[in-house]
Amino acid sequence: MRKLIAGGLVAATALVGASGALAQQKDEDFVKYRQGAFQTIAWHFGPLAGMAKGDIDFDAELAQRNAERLAQLASMPWEGFEGGPHDAGDGHTHAKEAIWEEMDKFEGGAEKFQQEVDKLAEVAQQGELGPLRQQVGAVGDTCKKCHDNFKED
Ligand code: HEC
């Protein structure tokens, strides 16, 4: 019992330590984080888009795995936009100011993206190319729409 409590204290201290570290995140960390999250999303979306276009062979297992991962990843980039552009002036961010001026619209785009990847994960379980292709298209539209409005080329 005593050991358990002591363990709990250690865990609590570790958490406090972690939130301390959070407060120290620099502007460039926010930019790196959100770009990294998008790179990871693109890594998983790429093969699905390739299958949909017929550029690579349909692989039902890979499609299912990547779609499931995308459903998880879709919630991740957004905390990197919290608290402002975090533009360190080094030209690294391609995020437009419009994000913070029209946050509702941006968040709406993020929600729509999440809905479409959730659906993609469901569709991928069927193991058929036809419906997968269609849903990959729907997801791709949400990427494009948000980039058109909120991302510099
Ligand atoms: C709701 C908005 C939104 C959605 C949805 C979205 N993106 Fe983005 N994406 C952005 C913004 C904003 C940036 C620019 C981030 C920055 O440079 O700070 C970005 C950047 C990127 C980058 C460049 C990352 C880098 O290293 O600079 C890639 C790749 C990318 N997105 C891929 C995707 C793909 C693929 C999808 C869909 C499967 C997608 N995005 C969906 C808003 C979005």
Of 40, 106, 141, 143, the residue with max ligand 1 atoms within 8 A of its CB, to mutate for a pocket test, comes to: 143
Q: Where are the alpha helices (DSSP H) in 25-128?
A: 27-53, 60-73, 98-101, 103-124
Return the structure tokens found at 97: 């100011």
Query: CB of 117 within 8 A of CB of 70?
Result: yes
pLDDT at 16 over 70: no
- Per-chain mean pLDDT for the chain: 89
Closest protein CA for atom 7 of ligand 1? 143
**DSSP code at position 79:** G
pLDDT at 107 over 60: yes
pLDDT at 125 over 60: yes
Tens of pLDDT, residue by residue over 48-104, are 999 999 999 999 999 999 999 999 999 999 999 999 999 988 889 999 999 999 999
Domain boundaries, the chain: 26-150
Put residue 44 in one of left, alpha, beta given phi > 0 → left and psi -120 to 50 → alpha: alpha
Segment 14-29 mean pLDDT: 65
CATH class given for the domain over 26-150: mainly alpha
**Three-state SS annotation for 110-143:** HHHHHHHHHHHHHHHCCCCHHHHHHHHHHHHHHH
Tens of pLDDT, residue by residue over 26-46, are 999 999 999 999 999 999 999
Q: Is the pTM of this model over 0.85?
A: yes
Ligand 1 atom at minimal distance to the Cα of residue 107: 1
Instruction: Report the pocket of ligand 1 as residue ranges, CB < 6 Å.
Output: 31, 34-35, 38-39, 41-42, 45, 93-95, 106, 109-110, 113, 139, 142-143, 146-147, 150-151
| pLDDT tier, 5 (very low <50, low <70, confident <90, very high otherwise) | very low
Q: How many angstroms from the chain centroid is the CA of residue 66?
A: 13
Task: Please state the φ and ψ torsions of residue 120, each to the nearest 5 degrees.
Answer: -60, -40
